[in-house]
Amino acid sequence: MSESAARPPALVVVDDEPAVLAAIARDLRRGFGERYRIVRVGSGEEALDVLREVVRRGEQVALLVADQRMPGLSGTDYLVRAREIVPSAKRVLLTAYADTEAAIQAINQVALDYYLLKPWDPPEEQLFPVVEDLLTGWESGAALESGGVRVIGHRFSRASHDLRDFLARNRVPARWLDVERDAEARQLLAVAGIEDDRLPVALLEDGAVLERPTVLELGERLGVAGQPAAEHYDLVIVGGGPAGLGAAVYGASEGLKTIMVESEAPGGQAGQSTRIENYLGFPAGLSGSDLARRATDQARRLGAELLTLQDATGLRVEGAGRIVELSGGGSLSASSVLVASGVSYRQLEAPGFAELTGKGIYYGAALTEARSCADQHVVIIGGANSAGQAAVYFAGYATKVTMLVRGDSLARSMSHYLIEQIEALPNVEVRIRSEAAAADGDGRLRALHIRGADGGETVEKVDACFVFIGAAPRTEWLAGVVARDERGFILAGLDAKQDGWPLARDPFPLETSVPGVLVAGDVRARSIKRVASAVGEGSMAVSLIHQYLAEA
Ligand SMILES: Cc1cc2nc3c(=O)[nH]c(=O)nc-3n(C[C@H](O)[C@H](O)[C@H](O)COP(=O)(O)OP(=O)(O)OC[C@H]3O[C@@H](n4cnc5c(N)ncnc54)[C@H](O)[C@@H]3O)c2cc1C
């Protein structure tokens, strides 16, 4: 091991006032000195030099703390520039009460993780919990990128993309090696005697080599999938997005024997959001993967079971029992079921898109691709908040980001705060009344045919394209059992009281046409498509299930 690899990651603190600098460094050392190195610097300019030197030596920086009021570079300006040098370090601004307004403004400018009011006494209450939380988030990100499983493959291979995406979304520590770019990848393949046509390959920590594994095979080998521990549950939740996770937390904490089935990875659509800025209690926003990690840990800690990599494929009613059939061949027996299966992206039906999916064209943000987009031209298709978040995120990596928006303005479909962020980014171009007419490639995306506002078509070189064009529910497995509207969304409450409703009472507000089967989140007809409403409905469903079970 090199000397630098042995050095603990740094917490870099900048303040021009020696007394404040000494105090914050002292407290950080007391709380975190065993795991981290505390570096003290007296100005923003000097600190940027320190960061460049740390990076040059191959060392890590976990946290930046900067006072807002400094002569020369202000705290905010320093953090903007520091972000370019150490993008994954967490950022904290130290402010006086009078500067709170400036700190709130800085949240967008710097993607600030926290602002800390001076004085932070007692540190046990005001400083340590916040910093511990930020460092836990940083550590899990760092472990994810450096750890455990190695996946070797071609960047523009759908199978490689699916494995990387699965590992990242399930937060399995893994390192991706591109066979075309990384010499280490070729060496490892030579040592293992694996030919190119057997890629992608996964090298596990126990020495196992899996050639062209499916996501399910890899998930089972890594123990990600889980096994049901009980014969019968009070509550089976289908879908592990915010609604399902909300229900898992409330169900388990209120004494229901609860299991959640998720076909891909906990977090759902929200797990793919680069930055959720409107979820209550997180003034600096939080990433979808962070929200998913916190919620999954919380649900598990409270006793909910999680079964991933399994689809619910059918629902049967057997007297008071509700049986959920699973894609793996098994089934789960329950007294009540919550359908929280959300929606998934609609596919773009233009020539070339189907063949190049996973090979330069991706649905959703596909965050695993971000680093590979450095120095490239990225196109984002769509004009809603999800597309806007992706544009802001990829602008931090790509040379140029082009947004293709079908409508005649972003304001019709996107929140004001995101429009402002996009307008401030010099490398993002928004083209209204524009759409992708076709995609060209040779095993990977090379160009898009773009139809512009004047109706004319241009062919433009594009390295990666991310599609966000609306979503549809995934409820075919409930056809003929649970009443749905014409678009497949599940009816609930009085809308679900149709011919054949078997009880004297009306359905509960989130109850479907089958008593004891409830629905929450985006998959519910007429739902509000927001993280907070999904979480709220998940918790409300648990309360209604208590009522249902009490009456049953
Ligand atoms: C990129 C992006 C950014 C967003 N940003 C914001 C934001 O900033 N603020 C905001 O409020 N909202 C945001 N949204 C919307 C928000 O994420 C959704 O409203 C929310 O995730 C809905 O939660 P849900 O639990 O109902 O469904 P989903 O999040 O869709 O989760 C459903 C889950 O069910 C699983 N599933 C589906 N079918 C089955 C099956 N048969 N068996 C097992 N599992 C199944 C899916 O794999 C999925 O994980 C964003 C959405 C996207 C895509």
Q: What is the pLDDT of residue 369?
A: 77
Question: Nearest-CA neighbor of 307 among 259, 342, 251, 245?
Answer: 259
C-alpha angle 140-163-85 in degrees, rounded to nearest 5: 45
pLDDT in tens, the chain (552 residues): 444 446 899 999 999 999 999 999 999 999 999 999 999 999 999 999 999 999 999 899 999 999 999 999 999 999 999 998 998 899 999 999 888 888 887 787 788 889 999 999 999 999 999 999 999 888 877 766 666 899 999 988 999 999 998 988 888 888 889 998 888 899 889 988 898 889 999 999 888 999 999 999 999 899 888 889 999 999 999 999 999 999 999 999 999 999 999 999 999 999 888 888 889 988 888 888 889 989 999 999 999 999 999 999 999 999 999 999 999 899 999 999 999 999 988 899 999 999 999 999 999 877 777 778 888 999 999 999 999 999 998 998 899 999 999 999 999 889 999 999 999 999 999 999 999 999 999 999 999 999 998 989 999 999 999 999 988 998 999 999 999 999 999 999 999 998 789 999 999 999 999 999 999 999 999 999 899 999 999 999 999 999 999 988
Which of 166, 237, 269 gets mutated to test ligand 1 (max ligand atoms within 8 A of its CB)? Answer: 269
**C-beta of 285 in contact with ligand 1 (< 6 A):** no
- Is the distance from the beta carbon of residue 343 to the nearest atom of ligand 1 less than 6 Å? yes
Peptide bond before 122: cis, by omega within 30 degrees of 0? yes
Q: Is 311 in the pocket of ligand 1 (CB under 6 A)?
A: yes
How far, in Å, CA of 56 to CA of 4, rounded? 10
Whether 258 lines ligand 1, by a CB cut-off of 6 Å, is no
Q: Select from 506, 507, 532, 512 the least CA-distant residue to 521.
A: 532
521 ligand 1 Cβ < 6 A: yes
**Running DSSP on this structure, what letter comes out for residue 524?**
B
- Ligand 1 center to residue 413 CA distance, Å? 18
C-alpha pair distances (Å), 47 with each of 1, 19, 66, 111, 116: 27, 18, 10, 19, 19
Predicted confidence at residue 192, as pLDDT, reads 86
pLDDT attached to residue 2? 43
d(CA 325, CA 308): 14
Q: Whose CA is nearest to atom 11 of ligand 1?
A: 530
